[in-house]
Structure 1
Amino acid sequence: MKVLIATGKLAEMTVRSSVGDNADVLVLDVDVAAFITPHRLLSALKEEKGKYDVILVPGFASGDFTLVSKRLGCKVFLGPKHAYDIGNVLKFVDEVDLSLEIPACELLSDIWKELALESLVELESSADMLAMLGDVKLGGGSRMKVMAEIVDATGFEGDALSLKVTEFIKKGADIIDLGASLTASAKDVRNTVRVARKVSTVPVSIDTLDPDLLKAALDEGVDLVLSLNSSNIDIVGNDVAEAGVTAVVIPDAGNSFESLVHNIQAARDAGIANLIADPVLDPIGHGFVDSIVRYVRFHNEYPGMPIFFGAGNVTELIDADSIGVNATLCGLAAEVGSCILFTPEFSEKTRGSIAELNTGAKMMALALMRESSPKDLGLDLLVLKEKRRRPDVTIPEGSLSAKRFAGWELDPLGPFRIGIVSDECGGGIIVAEHEDVTVTGRTAKEVIDTIIKMGLISKLDHAGYLGCEIKKAEIALRLGRSYSQDDDL
C-alpha cells in the first residue's frame, strides 16, 4: 500500500523521523500543518492521480477532503493530532478504517493505550537515574514514582496491615511508607516493618522523626527513612549511613531553603550516601506558591539531587476532586525535577490518589518523551468529562412530554432493597436483596437480567424503577461514591 503524509514546514522533521521509509511525505507551503486545506492539497497533487492508495492529512485539519479523494482516486483520512504519532498510525492503515471526521489518535484510543504502556516499559528499562531504591529507579529519565503512606501503620493489626500494603501496591504504589503514630514504641515499629516487608513487593519506608523509631526500623531492614533534619541527624545519621539506607532530608521548622541545604550537608557529613531532598510542598493558602518557588530554586541549584514532592499536603487540604488536583500536581512535580510523588489516602475525598498519581506520572513521562503537552497520549485522567462529545439527537415534531406517575403500587412478588459493597481498588458488588433471594453482581445488566430470568418482577413500573436504581448503584461503584437507595447520586 502506497501512503502519503501531508504536513507543514514546522512539523516536517518530526514527521519524517516518525514515518521513516514507511510512507512518502509531502510538505506544503504552510508553517502549521493544521492549516492544510483541500484546495492546497489538490494543487500540490494535481499530477499525482492514482499514485497513492491512502493520504493522511493532519488530525487538526478542517475542510471537506472528500473532493480530494474523488479527484485523486484514493482514500483520504485524518491522521493523528500530533506528528510524533504518525508512525504508530501507519501500523494500522491496512487493518482499520480511519475517518475524515475523527482524528486517528482518537479512533485508535484503545490501541493507543496499549502502545503508550509498551512505550513506558521501554522508557523505564532504558532510562538513566539519579539513584536506586532497591530495584526502583529514581530521577533522571525515569518516571516519577508514587510513595503511598499508610497513616498510623503502627496501629494496624498484622492481617489488616498486610491487606493495606497489598491494596496500595495493587493501586499503583511504587514505595510503601509506614506512618508511625505519636504513641508508637520501638517494638511497634519493628513489628510493623516486619509485617510489611513480608508482603511488600516494593521498597518500604518508615515515616517518623523520632530517632529511636528510626533505629528500630533500620534494625528490621527498612529501605528508606523519612525524614531527617537537625533534630535527629546527629543522633541517627551514623546508623543510617552504616545501614546504607536512603534518607529523605527536610528543612527545619519554617521550611527555609538555607535550612534544607544545611541539613543535607549535615547528612553527608554523617556519611549518608543516598539522599533525597524534600523542600516541602505547603498547602494552598499556607505558602503553596512560595514552596513551588523553593522547589524551582533547589532543582536549579542542585540538579543532580533527587527531589521528594508531597502531593498529599495539597490534596488533603482542599475540598476539590483529587483527580484534577493530582494531575496538575504531577505536572508541577515533573517541571521541578521530582522523583517521588507522596500521598496518603487518608480522607474519603482523596481515595484513588495513588492510582491518579501513578497515571499522572506516566502521562508526564510520555509527554516528556514526545516533547508535547500531557494530552492525546493514550493515557488520561478524564473521568467525568470527555475529549469528544457524541452528537445530540434532534427532537422530532409531535414528541410527548414525559410525566411522572402520581403514585405506585407494590409489586405482588415483593420489593427489593439495593445496596453496594465497594472495594478499595475501584469497583465492587451490587447487592439486590429480595425476600426470597439476594442477587449480587458487578454490573447493572447482569443483576437485572438475573432478576428477570428468576421471575422476581411482575410489574413494568417496578422493572423500570429497579433498572434505574441498579444502574445508579453501578455508577456509584465506578466513581468510588457511596450509594443509598432512592437518594440522588
Structure 2
Amino acid sequence: MNKTPKENILFLTGKLAQKRLERILKEMAPTEFTYEIRNIGVSVAALMTAQMIARRITNIEHIDRVIVPGLCRGDLSKLSDEIGVPCVRGTIDMKDIPTFFGRDCKPVDLSKHEVKIFAEIVDAPMVDIDVILKRAEKYRQDGADVIDIGCLPDTPFPHLEDVVKELHQAGFKVSVDSLNEDELLRGGKAGADFLLSLKESTLWIADEVSSTPILIPDKHTDMKSLFNSIEKFSAKGRPFFADPILDPVHFGFTKSIIRYHELREAYPDIKIMMGIGNLTELTEADTTGINAILFGLISEMHLNAVLATQVSAHCRSAIREADIARRIFYSARQDNSLPKGLSGSLLGMHERRPFQYNTSEIQEFYEDVRDPSYRIQVNENGIHVYNRDGICMRENPFDIFPELELIQDDAPHAFYMGVELARAQIALQLGKKYMQDEELDWGASSSKRTDEQKKDDLQATHNMREMRKQSNDYKSEGSTLKARKKNKKK
C-alpha cells in the first residue's frame, strides 16, 4: 500500500529569527510534514508583508503550504491566489510553533545564569546584627548570592568582625564594602569572601588576606590605573573582579558604559563587576525597565557580577528584578533569540497579551451562563459583568454599580464586587490580564503569594458567598441583573 506523501511546508522568516526557527523545527523531529525555511531578505520577520512575499517568493511548485510570521501584514487570501499555494499566519512567538502543530511547547528554562548578585546593606554600621541577618535572609530569598556589608565614611563599625562571622554561620557569602584601608583589612582578616574595593595604591591589602578583591581605578575614569591593577593582580595568580564604575545619567553614564566595553575588549577572560545602583537608585523610573536594559548590556558584554542596592523606596524590589533579569537574558542569549516570551516578570505595569477574549466571545460566554453568580471579564472595550439574567459593559466601576442593584445590607457581596471591580478597572487602565478571584500579576515588582495564601483568598471568597446564602435577607434574584430588568418592566 502506498503511503500518503507528507505535506511539504515552506516557512518564511527573517535573518534574525532563522537560526532559532531551524532549531525549533529540528527539535520537533520527527514531524508529520517535510519543510523548507527561507529568509526572503528581511532582518526582522515581523516586518514582512504579503506584497513583499508575492514579489520575492519563487520556486514553490513543490510546496503544499506557506507559513508566514504571525505578525506579517497584508491579505493572505489574495497572496494565496497570486502564488497558487495556501498561505497561513503562524504564531507570533516562535516558541509556540510546536503548539501550532499540536505539540507541547518546550518549557522555558530559567534555572541558569552566569551573573553573581552582590546585595548591599548600605547602613550596616548603624544597625544591629539581628537586623543585618534578617535583611540578608530577605535578600537571599530575592536571589542574592553575596551579602555586601556597606561601611560608612567616618562612622565607627565596632561589630564588623561579628557581622562577618554571624553571616558566615548563617550560610552567607560575605563582602566588605569600604574605601577605608583599616576596615578592608579588618573585614579580610575576619574571613570576608570579597573586598570592595581595592585600588592600585591599596593592592597590598590583598597580600594580607585571602579575600577576593574587586579592583577599581585609583581616580574616577582612570582606566590606566585599573589596567595596572589588573596586570599586577593577574601576576599573583589569584581571582579578582574589575569594576570601571557605572556613572549616573548626565554624570558620565554613556562614557562609563564605553569603559566597560573597552575593559571587556582588552581582557576577554577576566571577571568584571558592574555596580548598578547608580542607575537604579538615581533615576526616578520603575527599576524593572532599568534592570532589563542593564542586564541586556551585561549579557552582551559577558559581565560576571553586579552590586545591587535597595535604598530608595522605588528600588524595593531591585534585587528580585536583577535575579530574574540575569536568567531571562542568559536564556535568550543561549537560544540566540530576543529576550521575549521567556517571562513576564519584568512587565510590572503592562502585559504582552492582556485581553484574552473579544466582546463577541464574552457575549457567547454570557449566553451559556445559567446561574446568578456574577462573572467579570475585561477587554479593550471595558469591564464586562454578567450572570444568567443580563450583561453590562462599562469602563468605570461607578457606572457598573447602579446596574447591579445589589440588595441592601449585603455587605459581603458588596465587598467582593468592590474588590473585583477595582482590580478589573486597574487591569483595563494599564493593559493587564484580569482573572476573577485572582490578584493582578505585578511580576518581580511584588512578592509572589504562596499557593497556601491563594487558597486562603479563595476560601474567604467562598465564605462570603456562604454568609450571603445564610442571611435572612438573602434573595438571589434581588442581587442580580434580572431584578433590574424586572423593575424596568413594571
After TM superposition, the score normalised by the length of structure 2 is: 0.65
1:350 alignment partner AA = C
Code of the residue aligned with 2:163 in structure 1: it is T
Tell me the alpha carbon deviations over residues 183-232 of structure 1, each in whole angstroms, 9 at most, x when there is no partner. 6657511111111112235x321112223322332233221111112453
- Are 2:175 and 1:205 equivalent residues in the alignment? yes
Give the counterpart of 1:94 among 91, 102, 118.
102
Q: CA deviation at 1:294?
A: 1.9
Q: Paired residue for 1:277?
A: 242
Match of 1:294 in 2: 259
In structure 1, the residue matched to 2:36 is: 26
CA distance 1:230–1:95, change in 2 (3 Å) = closer
Query: 1:324 Cα shift?
Result: 1.0
Matches within 5 A, 1:432-447: 446-447=459-460
Counterpart CA distance in 2 for 1:144 and 1:258 is 26
2:199 is aligned to 229
Structure 1 residue runs of 5 or longer lacking an equivalent are: 97-110, 125-142, 430-439, 465-489
Q: Equivalent residue for 1:135?
A: none
Q: Check conservation: 1:343, 1:354, Cα contact below 8 A.
A: yes
Quote the Cα distance in structure 2 between the aligned partners of 1:219 and 1:428. Answer: 41
Partner of 1:486: none
Q: After superposition, give the CA deviation of every residue in 1:266-312 in whole Å (9 maximum; x if it has no partner).
A: 5457x472121110111112221222222222222222221111111
Q: Aligned partners of 2:321 and 2:249: how far apart in 1? A: 20
| 1:342 equivalent in alignment to 2:348 | no
Q: Percent identity?
A: 24
- Aligned twin of 2:437: none
1:212–1:8 Cα change, 3 Å:
closer
Q: Which amino acid aligns with 1:94?
A: G
Q: Which residue of 2 aligns with 1:164?
A: 135
Alignment match of 1:214 (pick from 181, 184, 193) = 184
Name 1:4's counterpart in structure 2: 9
1:405-431 C-alpha deviation (Å, 9 max, x unpaired): 8xxx99598999x99xxx9971579xx
Conserved in 2, the CA contact under 8 Å of 1:237 and 1:272?
no
Shift of residue 79, structure 1, vs aligned partner = 3.5
How far, CA to CA, are the matches of 2:73 and 2:445 in structure 1?
45
* Distance across 2 between alignment mates of 1:186 and 1:399: 62
1:254: Cα distance to partner? Answer: 2.9
Secondary structure of the 1:206 match is strand
Q: TM-score, normalised by structure 1?
A: 0.65
The aligned residue for residue 386 of structure 1 is 351
Is 1:196 paired with 2:167? yes
Partner of 1:323: 288
Distance in 1 (alpha carbons) for counterparts of 2:156 and 2:227: 31
Say if 1:147 and 1:175, in contact at 8 Å, map to a contact too.
yes
Contact 1:166 1:200 survives alignment (8 Å): no
CA contact (8 A) 2:18 2:39 kept: no
Over 3 Å counting, the alpha-carbon distance change for 1:238 and 1:8 in structure 2 is: closer
Q: In the alignment, which of 60, 68, 90 is matched to residue 78 of structure 1? A: 90
Are 1:145 and 2:153 matched, yes or no? Answer: no
* Gap change, CA 1:164 and 1:94, over 3 Å in 2: same
CA distance in 1, matches of 2:328, 2:392: 49
Q: Quick one: distance in 2 between partners of 1:25 and 1:291?
A: 47
Map 1:462-473 onto structure 2 (within 5 A).
Answer: none
The reply on whether 1:115 has 2:99 as its aligned counterpart is no
Give me the whole-angstrom Cα distance separating, in 1, the residues matched to 2:326 and 2:126. Answer: 30
Q: Which residue of 2 aligns with 1:450?
A: 463
Tell me, in whole angstroms, the C-alpha distance in 1 between the residues paired with 2:187 and 2:34: 61
Aligned length: 396
Query: 1:58 aligned to 2:73?
Result: no
User: RMSD in angstroms over aligned alpha carbons?
Assistant: 4.7
- CA, structure 1 residues 29+274, in 2 after alignment: closer, same or farther (shift >3 Å)? closer
Residue-by-residue CA offset, 1:70-104 (whole Å, 9 max, x unaligned): 9x99996614544xx4xx743773346xxxxxxxx
- Structure 1 segment 121-140 matched on structure 2, within 5 A: 121=112
